[in-house]
Amino acid sequence: MKRLTSLLALFMVVLALTGCNSVSPDPGQVAVLMKKPLFFGDGGVDPVAIRPGLKYKALTTEAIYVDVVPEAHKVAFDDFASHDNIMLDLDTTVTLKITDAVTLIKNFGPDWFKNNVESPYSQMVRDIVKTKMMRDMMSNPTTAMAMDDTVTKELVAYLKDKNIPVEVISVTLGRANPTPTVLAQINETAVQQQRQLTEAAATNAEVARAAAEKARAEADSAYRLQMGYSTDQYAEMQIVTLETQACMKAKACYVVPRSSSAVIPTK
C-alpha cells in the first residue's frame, strides 16, 4: 500500500508537469512552439506555427508569439558625424515583415532584430551620413530620399545574405537634427549674420538718404541760380510754399504780418 501511494503521488506530479495549456494568437500573429519535454520525446521548435485560434500545448512547451504583419521598429542614433564633421541625431524607422516565423525563431531567436539586424543597420546609417552635408540632410528632400533608398537596398541585401526571413517594407531615416550643442552654435551664427544684415541695411539706408539729400540740395541750388534768387529770397519762397500747402490742408488758416518781408523779383 505504501508503494502504491508513492507511485500514485509520482503519477500526479508527472500529470501536473505534462498537463495542457492553451495557445491563442491574435489576428496578425502566429505562435511558434518551443518544445521542452521533461522525460520523453525531442525538444526544439515545432515546424508548424499556430495560426489565430485556440490550441492546447504541454505546460513545458513555450509559446512565442510573433507578429506577421508589417511592424515598425524605431531606432534612434546620437552623434553621427556628417561629411562636414557636424554631429547629428536621427530618429529612424524600419518597417519589416516576417515571412517565416518558425525559421526566424529557430535560427535567430525571439530577439532577432536586436541581435542580428540593429547593429548592421546602425552601421549602414552611419556610413551614409558620413557622405552627406548637414544642410542637405536637414533641408533637401532629394538627399533624404536618396539616403532612404540606399539604406533600404543595403538592408535587403544583408537580410538575404544572412538568410533572415524578413521582408523590408520601408526605411525612413527622417530629418537629421544637430545635437543641442551644435544647434546652439548654429543659432548664434544665425543671430550674428542677421545682425550684420541689419547693420548693413541701416548703413545703406543712411547712405541712400544722404545721397538723396545731397541731390535735392544740388537741385535746389541749381534752380536758385537759374532764377537769380539770393539765398534769403529762395529760403523765403520755400517758407511761403510750405505755408501755402499747410493752409490748403487746414480747416482754417490765419495770416499774420511778418516782422520783415523780402521782395522777390520776377522775370
| 82, 88 Cβ separation under 8 angstroms | yes
Q: Helix, strand or coil for residue 177?
A: strand
The three three-digit cell numbers of residue 224, written as one number: 536758385
Instruction: Share the mean pLDDT of the chain.
Output: 79
63 with 76, same domain? no
The pLDDT tens digits of the residues spanning 213-228 come to 788 777 777 777 777 7
**Do 117 and 153 belong to one domain?**
yes
Shared-domain flag, residues 26 and 63? yes
Q: Decide if 58 contacts 19 (C-beta within 8 A).
A: yes
In a domain, 125, yes or no: yes
Residue 146: the pLDDT is 94
Domain harbouring 157, CATH code: 3.30.479.30
- For 18-68, how does the pLDDT look when each residue is reduced to its tens digit (9 = 90+)? 545 667 778 888 888 877 655 455 567 778 877 876 565 556 677 888 899
**pLDDT computed for residue 263 by the predictor:** 44
Do 227 and 144 share a structural domain? no
* pLDDT of amino acid 55: 62
Q: Hey, what's the cell of 262?
A: 523780402
Give me 172's grid cell.
Answer: 525612413
Q: Looking at the structure, do residues 225 and 188 belong to the same domain, yes or no?
A: yes
| Per-residue pLDDT at 116 exceeds 90 | yes
Separation of alpha carbons 150 and 139, rounded Å: 18
Residue 90 lies in a domain: yes
Mean of pLDDT values over 124-140: 91
Instruction: State how far Cα 259 lies from the chain centre.
Output: 76
Q: Are residues 154 and 75 in the same domain?
A: yes
The pLDDT, as a whole number, for residue 45 is: 75
Q: Are residues 127 and 100 located together in one domain of the fold?
A: yes
87 pLDDT more than 80: yes
Domain shared by 62 and 30, yes or no: yes
Among 47, 67, 87, the domain boundary falls at 67
Residue 190 counted as domain residue:
yes
Q: Structure pTM? A: 0.60
Choosing from 33, 52, 67, the residue where a domain stops is 67
Classify residue 252: in a domain, yes or no. Answer: no
Question: Does 105 map to a domain?
Answer: yes
What is the rounded CA–CA span in Å between residue 137 and residue 144? 6
Q: What letter does residue 168 receive in the DSSP assignment?
A: E
Count how many domains the chain has.
3
Say if 265 falls within a structural domain: no
Domain co-membership, 173 together with 187: no
**pLDDT by residue (tens digit) across 135-176?**
888 888 899 999 999 999 999 999 999 999 999 999 999 888
127 pLDDT tier (thresholds 50, 70, 90): very high
> Can you tell me the mean pLDDT for 6-15?
54
**Domain interval for residue 63:** 17-67
Q: What are phi and psi of 132, to 5 degrees?
A: -115, 150
Q: Looking at the domain assignment, is residue 191 inside a domain?
A: yes
pLDDT at residue 104, as a whole number: 94
79 belongs to a structural domain: yes
Q: Which residue, of 145, 178, 211, is where some domain finishes?
A: 178
- Shared domain for 49 and 117, answered yes or no, is no
Same domain flag for 146 and 57: no
Task: Clarify whether residues 86 and 130 are in a common domain.
Answer: yes
